[in-house]
Amino acid sequence: MSRSSHAIINLSSVQSNLQKLIALTNGAKIIAVVKADAYGNGAVEVAKLLEDKVDLLAVAFLDEALALRNAGINKTILILQGAHHADDFDQGENNQFIWIMHSYWQLDAYREYLSRSKMPPCAWIKFDTGMHRLGFPINDFNRVIDDYGDIIDENSAIVTHLARSDEPDQSHVNMQIASFLKAIEKTEFPLCIANSATSIRFPHAHKNYVRLGIAMYGSTPFEAADNPIELTPVMSLHSQIIALRTIPKGDTVGYGGTWRAPKESVIATVAIGYGDGYPRHAPTGTPAWCNNQIIPLVGRVSMDMLTFDVSGLDDPQIGDLVELWGNKLAINDVAEHIGTIGYELMTRVSKRIPRHYIYPGSPENKGNK
């Protein structure tokens, strides 16, 4: 292997995070969300790991679901955005997909498809209770259920999504849940409300199914301080120092000369950049980890390289490992410096970065504790 940049994906952490979440959501059925290549961690590997440990897998759209089928994943897959086109239903035929319905055109197209295909319906219905992104207006609940009784049956879960479950203020969440529960009051459909943040913070929203994404991948979806469960990072993004130099006080580093050395400084060049998914707008001061210390990014992010001020390290060497985030450095801490969230950093890591998997039970786990 010539280049040293890679992501270590610890699947045993996925498993242990999931176990904690299962214990917390006592009894709710588990939907493991593996969209966006399992948040950059590898959808096929994660789906293989979880297939027999969860009730459903979920992806955003049809192509993601078909990719899992083509890779030999047999678990029922929930398609969160539902059909994008009327012929999605034909393309997904005989695949054990559950379609979310959030628009009338989808229900009409599905009805038309069912009349041709003679397949049994397999639809969940999404309602908008205040996120205002997808879903029928919650006030249309009775209308949808009455008008589409041929598509909706007792297995059709009724779904909503909360906009602000990661914030300290709970009023918007409570408003959304209250309007949802009021509308569905006298019905007996299974219910599905909670993502990771909601599952952790709002036990009364667990209901029949929970949709778990980011927490399985070991990043807390809100301020870590108020998280009652300890999550273990799954992805560690690693590179190494490929060059070292000492520059005099007053010289600048990188494109545009945006950082000027306040004193004589040792600069390490690290072999990863925005072409690998490390955000270009990461500012000077964004932390990485090297030789048991935090080192600050200095100057602009390039396509293939980063520069760090390693003046504080004892004896930096070419070849030294640098962790951009992961076991030693929480992805959320890095995200905060960059003005983003762990979700985005994880999902952006590009195809250029090889993923190395640590499997549950493998001896490498011991070194990762």
Q: Which stretch binds ligand PLP (CB under 6 A): 109-117, 210-218, 268-276, 309-317?
A: 210-218
Which among 35, 75, 126, 207 is annotated as catalytic? 35
SS3 category, 320: coil
Decide if residue 211 touches ligand PLP (CB under 6 A): yes
Do the Cβ atoms of 134 and 166 come closer than 8 Å? no
Query: Whose structure tokens read 């969940």?
Result: 124
Query: Whose structure tokens read 């919650």?
Result: 138
Decide if residue 218 touches ligand PLP (CB under 6 A): no
Cα–Cα distance, 202 to 196 (Å, whole number): 10
Give the contact letters, 80-99, x = binds to ligand PLP (CB under 6 A), - = no: x-------------------
Which residues, numbered 180-199, are part of the site for ligand PLP (CB under 6 A)? Answer: 195-197
Report the residue number whose CB is nearest to ligand PLP: 213
| CA angle, 58 then 125 then 46, to 5° | 5
Decide if residue 33 touches ligand PLP (CB under 6 A): yes
Please report, for residues 139, 266, 317, the alpha-carbon distance to residue 244 in angstroms, rounded to integers and kept in the order given. 63, 7, 8
Give the contact letters, 158-177, x = binds to ligand PLP (CB under 6 A), - = no: ---x----------------
Decide if residue 135 touches ligand PLP (CB under 6 A): no
Q: Which stretch binds ligand PLP (CB under 6 A): 208-216, 233-241, 287-295, 347-355?
A: 208-216
Nearer to ligand PLP, 35 or 300 (CB): 35
* Catalytic (active site) residue 35: yes
Q: Is 85 exposed, middle or buried (0-12, 13-18, 19+ CB in 10 A)?
A: exposed
Nearer to ligand PLP, 32 or 324 (CB): 32
Phi, psi of 317 (to 5 degrees): -130, 150
Q: Which stretch binds ligand PLP (CB under 6 A): 44-52, 141-149, 211-219, 239-247?
A: 211-219
* Catalytic (active site) residue 328: no
Cα–Cα distance, 315 to 295 (Å, whole number): 13
Beta-sheet pairing, 293-296 with 355-358? unpaired
Which among 48, 104, 118, 255 is annotated as catalytic? 255
As measured in angstroms, the least distance from the Cβ of 162 to ligand PLP is: 9
Do the Cβ atoms of 36 and 347 come closer than 8 Å? yes
Q: Is 7 exposed, middle or buried (0-12, 13-18, 19+ CB in 10 A)?
A: buried
Q: Give the residue numbers marked as catalytic.
A: 35, 255
- Summarize as ranges the residues that interact with ligand PLP (CB under 6 A): 33, 35, 80, 161, 195-197, 211-215, 221
